[in-house]
Amino acid sequence: MAGPKVSVSVCVRNGAHWIEGCLEALLNQTYPNIEILVVNDGSDDGAEAILTPYHDPKGERGVPLTVHHQPPLGLSAGRQWAVEHASGEWVAITDIDVRPEQDWVANMVANIEPLSEEERVVAVTGRTVFEQANDLVSRLRSVEIAAKYRARPRRTSLANGPCSMFHREALMEVGGFDPSWYHAEDMEVSLRLIQAGGTIVYARDALVKHVPETGAAHFLAKRKRDARAHLRIVRHHPKRRRQGPGFDFLGSSTMVLCLFPLWLGILISGVPFAWGLLSGSVSVDGSPFDPWEGKVLLVSLSLLVVHEVFLWRGRLGVVNREVMRSTPHNKLIAMFGVRWLTFRWSVALWQGLLLGCVDALLGRNGHKR
């Protein structure tokens, strides 16, 4: 007996070089009862010409595949179009820079049955493996994502955008994807589903492979965008109103966030303290930490040491060690490279939070005054 029909959706904006790899992976799924919906979100890089030959809504060449062209309305609007036009009982979502394994849909469908009367499975989320290139960013990103998934429970709070499947009716009941959310639309809709009494299940064997995330500028821009969107999540879905499991996919961001204020404290206190020593206004006789600068410097340095211990013993420590172990270059250089990238990551998170505060004050980008 055939299982429930699954409508698989993918959105693309200026990802022409990824289209063929993604769509061929979807067309070769082992699960037979699927359709594919592709949303071209205003691409101007030649994506339309590549997508046109794939358009086969009646499935005359096998799997039905519909290509929809729209202005650049955003990822969330594209996902919502697919939900509204899907004919399947379940709607799967992925990204154009992802290559689902052949049994990705089949393994998600295998997990739709609840394990108890308390569960009402409304979404199943799989596992994303970030492939590595020969650079620090891709290795760090790959190891960090793998560490997140190792600690993930079966009942989770997030149906990740690259590898998830939603019960269409349950999704429509909570309003679907909100087009005003430019980022983190998967987290926002996941929280609404849980708030409505649904259960999101993690299926480890439902695997997709993400192309390597390379380049520090690209990595930091995405982390800034993550932080900006997370502030909106916290503001619209405060902890006191959330139900179900807590956030289990934040990874190393909390520890990384602390890094910039610690170094800022060292800079603010260290420069005048060092100047005081050089100019003789601060005496090294007795306790050199009598001036306020010295006290702040001592506290900041102490907290930085404690932070470093927790950083290396925690999840990011695993990331650091794995990156150093896998580097083809000098390990000392790799260690300093990781530390510098982590500091820049911390700065990017604070930039994102600041922009999120501005969004909240102005009531823009999905914020409500």
Q: What is the 3-state secondary structure (H, E, C) of 34-101?
A: EEEEEEEECCCCCHHHHHHHHCECCCCCCCCEEEEEECCCCHHHHHHHHHHHCCCCEEEEEECCEEEC
289 vs 56, which has greater pLDDT?
56
Residue 122: φ, ψ to 5°: -110, -10
> Would you say residue 308 lies in a domain?
yes
> Would you say residue 248 lies in a domain?
no
Q: 201 and 55, same structural domain?
A: yes
Q: Which domain holds residue 267?
A: 254-362
Token pair 């037979």: residue: 32
Overall average pLDDT of the 315-336 stretch: 72
> Would you say residue 258 lies in a domain?
yes
What is the predicted pLDDT for the residue at 98? 96
Q: 307 and 224, same structural domain?
A: no
Residue 200 and residue 190 in contact, taking contact as beta carbons nearer than 8 Å: yes
281 pLDDT band, cuts 50/70/90, is low
> Would you say residue 368 lies in a domain?
no
Q: 116 and 82, same structural domain?
A: yes
183 pLDDT band, cuts 50/70/90, is confident
Residue 92 and residue 105 in contact, taking contact as beta carbons nearer than 8 Å: yes
Query: Where among 189, 210, 240 does a domain terminate?
Result: 240
> Would you say residue 1 lies in a domain?
no
Residue 175 and residue 169 in contact, taking contact as beta carbons nearer than 8 Å: no
What is the predicted pLDDT for the residue at 249? 46
Query: Where among 217, 240, 263 does a domain terminate?
Result: 240
Q: 270 and 201, same structural domain?
A: no
Q: 23 and 163, same structural domain?
A: yes
Number of domains in the chain: 2
Residue 251 and residue 140 in contact, taking contact as beta carbons nearer than 8 Å: no
> Would you say residue 261 lies in a domain?
yes
pLDDT in tens, 80-138: 999 999 999 999 999 999 999 999 999 999 999 998 888 999 999 999 999 988 888 88
Q: 227 and 295, same structural domain?
A: no
Helix (H) or strand (E) holding 127: strand 121-130
Q: 231 and 101, same structural domain?
A: yes
Q: 323 and 273, same structural domain?
A: yes
CATH code where residue 110 lies: 3.90.550.10
Residue 119: φ, ψ to 5°: -90, 140
Beta strand 90-95 with 155-156: parallel, antiparallel or unpaired?
Answer: unpaired
Helix 331-362 and helix 259-279, axial crossing angle in degrees, nearest 10: 110
pLDDT in tens, 244-266: 555 654 567 777 888 898 888 88
Q: Is 228 exposed, middle or buried (0-12, 13-18, 19+ CB in 10 A)?
A: buried
What is the predicted pLDDT for the residue at 282? 57
Overall average pLDDT of the 219-248 stretch: 79
Give the separation between CA 346 and CA 318, rounded to whole angstroms. 18
182 vs 47, which has greater pLDDT?
47
Q: 73 and 11, same structural domain?
A: yes
What is the predicted pLDDT for the residue at 42? 94
> Would you say residue 122 lies in a domain?
yes
Query: Dihedral (C-alpha) 357, 360, 363, 368: value to the nearest 10 degrees?
Result: 160
Phi-psi region of 114 (alpha: psi -120 to 50; beta: other; left: phi over 0): beta
Q: 201 and 278, same structural domain?
A: no
Helix (H) or strand (E) holding 126: strand 121-130
pLDDT exceeds cutoff 60 at 189: yes
* Alpha helix stretches (DSSP H) within the chain: 16-27, 47-51, 75-85, 104-109, 136-150, 168-173, 185-195, 216-236, 253-257, 259-279, 292-313, 315-326, 331-362
Query: Where among 206, 240, 274 does a domain terminate?
Result: 240
pLDDT exceeds cutoff 60 at 182: yes
351 vs 143, which has greater pLDDT?
351
Q: Identify the three-state secondary structure at position 318.
A: helix
Q: 103 and 214, same structural domain?
A: yes
User: How many CB atoms lie under 10 A from the CB of residue 71?
Assistant: 8
Residue 123: φ, ψ to 5°: -160, 145
Overall average pLDDT of the 184-193 stretch: 91
Q: 275 and 163, same structural domain?
A: no
